[in-house]
Amino acid sequence: MQIVVRVPASSANLGPGFDCMGMALDWFDDVTLTTQPAGIDVDVTGEGAEDVPRDASHLIVSTFLTGLESLGVTPPRGLRLTAHNSIPHGRGLGSSSAAITAGLLLAWAYAHPASQPDRKWMERIGTRLEGHADNVAAVILGGLAIAWGTADAGRAISAPLSGDLRALAYIPHRAVPTRRAREALPAQVSHADATANTGRAALLVHALAQRPDLLLDATEDWLHQRYRAELMPESAALVAQLRAGGHAAIISGAGPTVIVLGTEEMLDELARTPFKGFDRRLLHVGGPAHIVSISEN
């Protein structure tokens, strides 16, 4: 059997939506799994190819095996994974969530090749593996995802987006490990900061759907970006510069990529503006992870 899947990048938090909001972007990794008589072979090209393992510990392979175990399906005797990575690693663009989602999608397609993927199952297992649902939900559902936790699982829904919404990404040349970005956060924040963030997160849902002119106010954050600034000073300075110019700039996920949200008209001039130390890319909202094809070897 050969299974081909495609998974999008994503931007989590979107300013005030810390650990509960994420958006898929039209920037994709392509993954092929082929069964074989024995052994595990991993062939990776593109972003991070020199850093990822080439055995069963590869995140897509380990997630594939975990997914099959959850589904009660015996894994193939051997497999070959071929991945072409386009999504940058360690830049806050959801590369690990894309890998986890790819593994789960491959597992579902292997176990149930004639059925549409059970995305609620994918959300449940993906959240357990990732630790929080914002990126994973966006990759699984596409578009804008709002995630929340329950007593026994993470849940998520798709939310409406303005059809002309774009994301202008400024990607720095160096990575920041997500673990370090997490460690920079305080254990507690003030009631005033939590209240302010709640109001802006609520406004952000409306701004993304109907009022992009409100995105500058709607993307203001008090919970995470200021605490991570020392880890990514160039990105923090760029966010401050862009916001002072009236642009809805945020740190994407755990950083250090900077995302500016707006319509194509709002971002047109800025999209032609370079900043030293950053690559730039104008992105559309991405669709969900999907199975491209399933065939016999």
Annotated binding site: 88-98
**Residue 220 is which amino acid?**
E
**Residues annotated within a binding site for ATP:** 88-98
Count Cα neighbours of 142 within 13 Å in the Cβ-side half-sphere.
11
What whole-number distance in Å separates Cα of residue 17 and Cα of residue 15? Answer: 6
Closest CA to 111 of 79, 154, 77, 65: 65
Using alpha carbons only, give the angle 60, 178, 215 rounded to the nearest 5 degrees.
105
Closest CA to 125 of 42, 80, 62: 62
**Residue 267 is which amino acid?**
L
CA dihedral 206, 208, 213, 216 (to 10 degrees): 100
Q: Which residues of 276-294 are buried (b: 16+ CB within 10 A; e: fewer)?
A: eebebbebebbebbebeee
DSSP label at residue 74: P
Using alpha carbons only, give the angle 271, 274, 276 rounded to the nearest 5 degrees.
150
